[in-house]
Amino acid sequence: MEQTIQGYIRQLQNNPNILSILLVKQEDKFSPISDGFDALLIVITNEGPTSIQHYVIAEHTVQEIYVNQQELENWFYHQRTKRIVEWIFNATVLYEKESWFTHYHDQLHHFPEAMKERKICIEFSAFLRRYMAGKDLLNQGYAMDAYSHIVHALHHWARILLIENGLHPEVSMWNQVRLVDQEIYKLYCELIEGDEPLAKRLQLLLLASQFSVNKLMRSSSRLIQHILSSRKEPWTIEEIADYPLIQESDIDLSLLMEKLVEREIVFACEDELLDGVAIRKYYV
């Protein structure tokens, strides 16, 4: 396969904007890793828009994805492309400029604490939104809608546990979870396979997970805690939202901050405005 498309790759290398070219080959005809194509080419660029092209090269079907390095980071942190971890760790490097992909791959492999902290906060924010929505819908008697949200919440919780253990969540995530944390794996199995009525299964899961969720909130909010402690002065919600790491992350900040205050992980103070009516909240 590599030899078949080498001529095309040599043409791409003439573009100074290209940092790396990766090849992901189809493992078998039923594998979704390359979206059903014989091969996937990932062309990582310094800048420029994300784009997709489909080709036939020497009778091989090829999907080509152009992605800039900032968008690649977004894919990784937010799991917007579910197979991104498999692509990065299983791809063949056809070209890289000044060892760019080698350095990037090594960084992901070692999974530094700052990267874990950011990913965990993103996942916990998504978990919290789904968990609260599921709980509310169940209280209203909408068990099937609640089930959908709670299953998504469990997926985010599972990703957090894997990241805490230095693992990148893969497409076959629950197989990873089974080897790392039997408690959440058991909760997940009981929810989807249990014999009890659906509403009862959801109630049991929410009851069983309550203590773990409270504990999870403290450990998953370290990014916010570190930001708030980086200066002596209190922060407004706008200032927190404008902080670079928060700006670059898809975090449901308002919900997260309210829950952190509710659990006394973060503290809020108030300052009366000049009009004497509205009171601005600050966080420390």
CATH of the domain at 30: 3.30.460.10
117 and 233 in a single domain? The answer is: yes
The reply to whether 163 falls in a domain is yes
**Can you tell me the distance from the alpha carbon of 90 to that of 22, in angstroms, rounded to the nearest whole number?**
10
Residue 226 and residue 134 in one domain: yes
Instruction: Report CA-CA distances (Å) from 139 to 133, 184, 192, 198, 202.
Output: 10, 23, 19, 13, 11
276 in any annotated domain? no
Q: Are residues 134 and 157 both part of a single domain?
A: yes
Last residue of a domain, one of 67, 93, 110: 110
Please list the residues that pair with 61 across neighbouring strands.
56
119 and 246 assigned to the same domain? yes
CA angle 210, 235, 220 (to 5 degrees): 30
pLDDT of residue 274: 55
Q: Tell me the C-alpha distance between 231 and 228, whole Å.
A: 7
Confidence (pLDDT) at 172: 81
Query: Domain total for the chain?
Result: 2
Report pTM: 0.83
Of the residues 57, 79, 110, the one at which a domain ends: 110
- Domain holding 78, by residue range, is 2-110
* Tens digit of pLDDT at every position of the chain (284 positions): 666 677 788 888 888 899 999 998 877 665 667 778 888 999 999 988 999 999 888 888 889 999 999 888 888 777 656 678 888 888 899 999 989 999 988 888 888 888 899 999 999 999 999 999 999 999 999 999 999 999 999 999 999 999 999 988 887 899 999 999 998 999 999 999 999 999 999 999 998 888 888 889 999 999 999 999 999 999 999 999 999 989 888 899 999 999 999 999 999 988 766 566 667 788 99
Instruction: Classify burial at 80, counting beta carbons within 10 Å of its beta carbon; exposed 0-12, middle 13-18, buried 19 or more.
Output: exposed
For residue 167, the domain's CATH number is 1.20.120.330
